Amino acid sequence: CVCLPSVCSGIGLALCERLLTEDTQLRLCLACRNMQRAEAARSALLTSHTGAHVDLLQLDVGSVESVLDAAEVVKSRYNRIDFLYLNAGIMPNPQVDIRAFFKGLFSRNVINMFATAEGLLTQQDRLNSDGLQEVFATNLFGHFVLIRELEPLLCQTGHTSRVVWTSSSNARRSAFSIDDIQHRKGTEPYSSSKYASDMLSVALNRRMNGQGLFSSVVCPGLVMTNLTYGILPSSFWTLIMPIMWLIRIFTNTFTLTPYNGAEALHWLFLQKPESLDPRAKYHSLTSGLGTNYTKPRQMDIDGETADVLFSKLLELEKVVRRKLCERNADNEAHQRYLSEIE
């Protein structure tokens, strides 16, 4: 079984199309927070791949309760997971620093600026219902809890399984602090959460390779999806689209379409896990002539700090689970009280 949170649109949906084209016998499980959109995605996939096996699962990866419920359903449905694609990601209230953009445009750093958006983007985060920073909870922590819950299906003797993170070249060491893993104090929660997912992937490989679990990290490049349409108005993107296609001549990171962006995710599906570099980020790239390819680049990560992050996430998981139990016990007591006074 290949389990994919979250694939209602964008890169995730394009990946499903590509996986089904590769192997019609696959059993896909689309884990989405909005079941109407999930149904639409499933119908689209079945239209182009009649007879494909596509299951749906309700999952809001930004809520620990939803992750725990979804994991129970997965455990009751499947005996084993071969691939777990961790694709859900948000970038709420993005702000582009226009001055920095024009300054960067005339600097030597211009290609790097277009590839990584370094120094260009900030976001405004908020707390979610678990009391966690929303970007951290969605882009990292929910996925972490999901992996922990699905460990019995991922780590089975005689089988290897794979976890694939959709990270970003916007992930930057300087945006992340091990003393503030949720990025409560900064203005770059997206960059911080993606750097944390890179670290977590390294930590997973250090801990779990021996049990047959292999983790990889991907950057899809700059792709036009709901996420990017949230950065600038779509009319503006339409206006600058010819320039974007022109920029593609100078940087291969402007993959632009979800199909191209899914290149590295698809490529990883075809590789033997033992042949992969646990410390590499695999980039989807598109040449000026429109050829897609995948290229690994070493990540700027220190293994010991990655282990510390893993321990901190374990601690946080305990705290959140305890709070959830207390909340559920309170709710049950309240329900009992209501039924008694009826």
Ligand X SMILES: CC(C)CCC[C@@H](C)[C@H]1CC[C@H]2C3=C(CC[C@]12C)[C@@]1(C)CCC(=O)[C@@H](C)[C@@H]1CC3
Give catalytic residues, as residue numbers: 190
Rounded Cα distance between 2 and 274, Å, is 19
> Left (φ > 0), alpha (ψ -120 to 50) or beta: where does 305 sit?
alpha
Question: Is there binding between residue 314 and ligand X (CB under 6 A)?
Answer: no
Please name which of 12, 15, 20 lies closest in space to residue 38, comparing C-alpha atoms: 12
Residue 284 in the binding site for ligand X (CB under 6 A): no
Compute the chain's Rg from CA coordinates: 20
**What x-and-dash track marks residues 244-283 binding ligand NDP by CB under 6 A?**
----------------------------------------
Burial class (CB in 10 A: 0-12, 13-18, 19+), 186: middle
Residue 87 near which of ligand X, ligand NDP, none (CB within 5-8 Å, type-dependent)? ligand NDP
The span from the CA of 335 to the CA of 340, in Å, is: 9
Q: 201-230 mask for ligand X (x: CB under 6 A)?
A: ------------------x--x-----x--
How far is 195 from 217, CA to CA, in rounded Å?
10
Q: 11 is in the binding site of which of ligand X, ligand NDP, none (Cβ under 5 to 8 A by kind)?
A: ligand NDP
CB nearer ligand X, residue 66 or residue 169: 169
Q: How far is the CB of 95 from ligand NDP (least distance, A)?
A: 16
299 touching ligand NDP, by CB under 6 A: no
As measured in angstroms, the least distance from the Cβ of 11 to ligand X is: 10
Q: For residue 211, what are its two tokens?
A: 């049990």
Look up residue 327 and give its amino acid. Answer: R
Considering the complex, what minimum distance in angstroms separates the CB of residue 14 from ligand X?
16
Q: Which of 93, 83, 102, 261 lies closest to 168 in space, CA to CA?
A: 261
Binding mask 101-140 for ligand NDP (x = CB under 6 A): -------------------------------------x--
DSSP result, 37-85: HHHHHHHHHHHHSTT-EEEEEE--TT-HHHHHHHHHHHHHH-S--SEEE
Q: Smallest distance, Å, CB 9 to ligand X?
A: 15
- Given strand 53-58, what is the order of strands in its sheet? 53-58, 27-32, 2-5, 83-86, 161-166, 213-219, 280-286, 292-298
> Could you give the dihedral angle defined by the CA atoms of residues 34, 36, 42 and 48, in that order, rounded to the nearest 10 degrees?
-130
Query: Which of residues 34 and 187 has its CB atom nearest to ligand NDP in the complex?
Result: 34
Whether 246 contacts 265, CB under 8 Å: no
Q: How far is the CB of 198 from ligand X (least distance, A)?
A: 12
| Binding to ligand NDP, residues 89-108 (CB under 6 A) | 89-90
DSSP letter for 139, please: I
* Residue closer to ligand NDP, measured from CB, 70 or 301: 70
- Please report where in the chains the tokens 């819950």 appear, as a residue: 149
Tell which one of 21, 43, 48, 96 touches ligand X (CB under 6 A). Answer: 96
Total of residues contacting ligand X (CB under 6 A): 16
Q: Report the nearest approach of ligand X to the CB of residue 302 (Å).
A: 22
Q: Are strands 94-96 and 121-123 parallel, antiparallel or unpaired?
A: antiparallel
Decide if residue 284 touches ligand NDP (CB under 6 A): no
Q: Which stretch binds ligand NDP (CB under 6 A): 22-30, 74-82, 83-91, 276-284?
A: 83-91
Q: For residues 161 and 170, which CB has a smaller minimum distance to ligand X in the complex?
A: 170
DSSP-based three-state secondary structure for 36: helix
Residue 217 found at the interface with ligand NDP (CB under 6 A): no
Q: Point out which residues bind ligand NDP (CB under 6 A).
A: 5-12, 32-34, 37, 59-62, 87-90, 138, 166, 168, 219-220, 222-223, 225-228
Q: Point out which residues bind ligand X (CB under 6 A).
A: 96, 98, 101, 114, 116-117, 120-121, 168-170, 219, 222, 228, 231-232
